[in-house]
Structure 1
Amino acid sequence: MSDADLPTSGEVDVAVVGAGAAGVSAARHLLDRRPGLRVLVLEAAARPGGRALTIQNEAIGAPLDLGCGWLHGAESNPWVAIAERLGFRIDKTPPPWNVQFRDLGFPPEDQKAYERASDAFYKRMAEVQQEPADRSLASLLLPEDPWNGLLNAVSTYVSGAELEEASIHDTAHYAVRGSDWRVVEGHGRTVTQFGSDLPIALNALVTKIDHGWAGQIWLETTRGTVRAQAAIVTVSTNVLASETIRFDPPLPDKVAAAQGLPLGLANKVFLHLDSPEELQTDTHLIGDPKARRTGAYHLRPFGRPVIEGYFGGSLARALEEDGEAAAEAFALEELAALLGENFRKRARLLVSTSWGRVPTIRGSYAFARPGAAGQRAVLAAPVEERLFFAGEATSPDAFTTAWGAYTSGLTVAEQALAQFH
């Protein structure tokens, strides 16, 4: 059934709010377990996928993942099997993140010094993770350590936030381990294809969820009012915290949990290379290893004539505010400093992202503020056993990943099925 043919008012068994990885996972599981169930996915945007987005770029004739791109913990990651089932190819080339291309701007002795500082930082983290009082990761930094900047930069790549914003206790719960692989055709395409035959109503912004009725939940949307026996909410924490969706009766605990689990920001900029052969395939550069605000650059991923730049935290926010040209200029400035001034003439912008400006998402992935690690469980807790919450932010041990979003969708789908005997 096409989106235009979907009824967006009336009664359903389960309404799912959001068609990202968690929403399509929940809807798919509901219909696989109970094929006759009336399920409707309400998506505020004009496309499904949420923070999973693959575009086909005509300039290079290849797909680009603007959102999630890596299959973390790949040996156990459920998206690997899903991608293969859909006929997509898995690339197992190891990520080049820990190797500086030709040691440019980062000589071997400095790389070893940073590795020692990083190892010591994570050892200190492990020692204090069991302490009863939570605090920020920045409290583990040694004063005047020359590698504090890069430790902070890496934090922005991992969580979208600097170390002073992030919780030690929350980091202790992250359990994704193993290899990092990629989908050649795109991780975002995997998510959207997985949900391609689901009943997804697009441009259906949910503005109010009234769960005060006996036996029903009323969801007011820009395309009508849906009445459901159960509802699954998978929107981002920044959307929940902004109270764009109004709950009646109010759910202050959910709003507070979302505020304690804000979305960090990580954005990408893709540059097209005129002379790609000068750079080795699947290599990597850190723009400035001594800087707190610097980009990470994947050179020629999949052998394509592209550099994929990655910015996080306060740098990502500043560049996003200044616009696409600022992201391009920053990337070219750092790369020209390493590859030579003439490099500016051999690379140009393809596309950049601004996830913080997407009104239906407002960021990248959820980190926990110091003291808020327990809010993931609060956010995930069902309300009256008929209103459920899912998404990567609710995952106890795979947050910030599409894997965590997927498994959270399975969990709430099982909980919702208990309503239908």
Structure 2
Amino acid sequence: MKGLPLDIGCGWLHSAERNPLIAIARENDFKLVEGRTAWQQQWRDLGFPAADRIAAFDAWKTLTKRLRETPPQSDCAADSLEPNGRWNAFCQSLSGYLNGVDLEGLSAEDFTRYDIAASDSNWRVREGYGKLLASSLPQVPLYLSCPVRRVAITANGVELYTDGGHVKARAAIVTVSTAVLASEVIAFDPQADDHIQAAARLPLGLADKLFFELHGEHGLEAETHLLGNPDDTKTGSYYIRPLGRPLVEGFFGGSGAFSLESGGLLDAFAYGLEQLSSLLGSRIRGHLRPLAASSWRHTDYILGSYSHALPGQAAERQTLARPIEGRIFFAGEGTCETDFSTAHGAWESGRRAAGEFLDLRH
């Protein structure tokens, strides 16, 4: 947008104090933005006064503590909700943002592993997370629009059958999403039934972004935030003027994101406008222009956002990460036991898989 980066996907360097991409950013002179996020704020207390926010976040903290200390036998995170709790809808919306799924579909064990490992240090990079990741790539040949249809182990390594021909190599690292792997659009020889089954038990949740461009004398302050409706599990979370830019970044997760994608782009922007105008007044409509949106569930060869374990299936991340005959290796955020759903988790999983291959060579 007007020369400014727009991260449709990952935008935050989570757990910054141990995020390996921080060092890469510094080595390449990217401008890192440290400090607190605005997520727990509500600009001018509109629609969500301070006392309610404290109570709502306390309910979330109580829920996560219960998941850690007295997890439900079912391993279903929703079973730890307070029956008819005042802030259950708020907790469901937070699960949507964090996990891409409502609590009914979430493994308590899996979420707790992430929650314990994660920190509150969330940084950004002014040039854009996507640009940072692109800059880190080595100078190797990249073939785009060349999907792999089959991966076969041979006497000397592996052979990949692609839409552009065959590729032979000593080994392959499979990094597709769990949804793509579970769809069996890629065939394996020998069969990878355990990995495909594990991927199905680690489905992709859904989180989508919706961007509005701001113009005119709108009066909105930079680095502020509004939650659309704390009583609605499908509500959007709106980051206002991130890094001072003329934008509102809407974020939807779980059932909210599924609802938006099902309704289509026009309905999605209409819903965002309705939530923002209900808080800011109808005049704000004249200062907001729909700009861009993601639709990850409908994006070919991705089919969602980030993985979560179904109740009782947290151990499947280990299964998914297991190599096949020292020739086919697996990486991606879905293979991470603690940093799934993050770019740095995917990054570290790639290094782990490459290390496994190198270890087997010696």
Same fold (TM over 0.5): yes
Q: 1:149 aligns with which of 74, 84, 89?
A: 89
**Residue aligned with 2:5, SS:** strand
- Aligned: 1:301 with 2:272: no
Q: Following superposition of structure 1 onto structure 2, how do residues 121-270 of structure 1 map, counting pairs within 5 Å?
A: 121-129=63-71, 133-174=73-114, 175-195=117-137, 197-211=139-153, 213-270=154-211
Contact 2:233 2:255 in 1 (8 A): no
Compute the displacement of 1:330 (Å).
Answer: 0.7
Q: Which residue of 2 aligns with 1:389?
A: 330
- Where does structure 1 lack aligned partners over 5 or more consecutive residues? 1-56
Equivalent pair of 2:218/2:287 in contact (CA under 8 Å)? no
Measure, in 2, the Cα distance between the counterparts of 1:406 and 1:134: 32
SS of residue in 2 equivalent to 1:113: helix
Deviations 1:33-70 (A, max 9, x none): xxxxxxxxxxxxxxxxxxxxxxxx23xx3111100000
Shift of 1:87: 2.1
Deviations 1:3-53 (A, max 9, x none): xxxxxxxxxxxxxxxxxxxxxxxxxxxxxxxxxxxxxxxxxxxxxxxxxxx
**Divergent runs of 4+, >4 A:** none
Q: How far apart are 1:419 and its partner, in Å?
A: 4.0
In the alignment, which residue of structure 1 is the partner of 2:214? 273
Distance 2:50 2:120 in 1: 26
Aligned to 2:56, which of 107, 111, 114?
114
Deviating more after overlay: 188-197 vs 288-297: 188-197
Q: Residue type of the partner of 2:93?
A: A
Q: Distance in 1 between matches of 2:162 and 2:211?
A: 35
Q: Quick check: 1:380–1:394 contact (8 Å CA) kept in 2?
A: yes
Aligned equivalents of 2:144 and 2:216: distance in 1?
41
Query: Residues of 2 paired with 1:172 and 1:266: CA distance?
Result: 20
What is aligned with 2:350?
Answer: 409
Deviations along 1:63-111, one digit per CA (max 9) or x if unpaired, are 1110000000111111111112222110113211111111100112211
CA distance, structure 1, for counterparts of residue 34 and residue 359 of structure 2: 39
One-letter code aligned to 2:121: S
Counterpart position of 1:357: 298
Decide whether aligned partners of structure 1 residues 176 and 123 sit closer, same or farther in structure 2, where only a CA change above 3 A counts.
closer
1:321 partner SS: helix
Amino acid corresponding to residue 342 of structure 1 in structure 2: R
One-letter code aligned to 1:63:
P
TM-fit CA distance, 1:276: 6.0
Letter in 2 for 1:335: L
Contact 1:265–1:316 under 8 Å retained in 2: yes
Counterpart code for 1:197: Q
Length-normalised TM-score, structure 1: 0.83
Higher percent of residues as strand = 1
Q: Is the 8 A contact 1:75 1:178 kept in 2?
A: no
- Number of residue equivalences: 360
Distance 1:196 1:308, change over 3 A: farther
1:200-235 CA distance string (max 9 Å, x none): 111110000112x22321110011111111111010
Report if aligned partners of 1:386, 1:419 keep a CA contact under 8 Å in 2: no
* Secondary structure of 2:133's aligned partner: helix
**Once the 2 structures are TM-superposed, how far is the Cα of residue 344 of structure 1 from its aligned partner?**
1.2
- SS of the residue corresponding to residue 301 of structure 2 reads coil
Alignment of 1:287-366 (within 5 A): 287-366=228-307
* 1:378 pairs with one of 313, 319, 331: 319
Contact 1:101/1:283 (8 A) holds in 2: yes
Matched residue SS, 1:208: strand
Judge conservation of contact 1:285–1:296 (CA < 8 Å) in 2.
yes
TM-score for both structures, normalised by structure 2: 0.96
Match of 1:83 in 2: 25
- In structure 2, the gaps of 5 or more residues are none
Per the TM alignment, residue 196 of structure 1 is displaced from its structure 2 partner at its CA by 5.8
Q: Structure 2 CA distance, aligned partners of 1:419 and 1:100?
A: 53
Listed one character per residue, the Cα deviations across residues 155-208 of structure 1 (whole Å, up to 9, x for unaligned) are 000011001010001012111224100010001111112116232111110000
Q: Which amino acid aligns with 2:152?
A: D
Task: Identify which range, 269-278 or 75-84, moves more after superposition.
Answer: 269-278
Once residues 138 and 46 of structure 2 are traced to their aligned partners in structure 1, the CA distance between those partners, rounded to angstroms, is: 44
CA shift for structure 1 position 277: 5.5
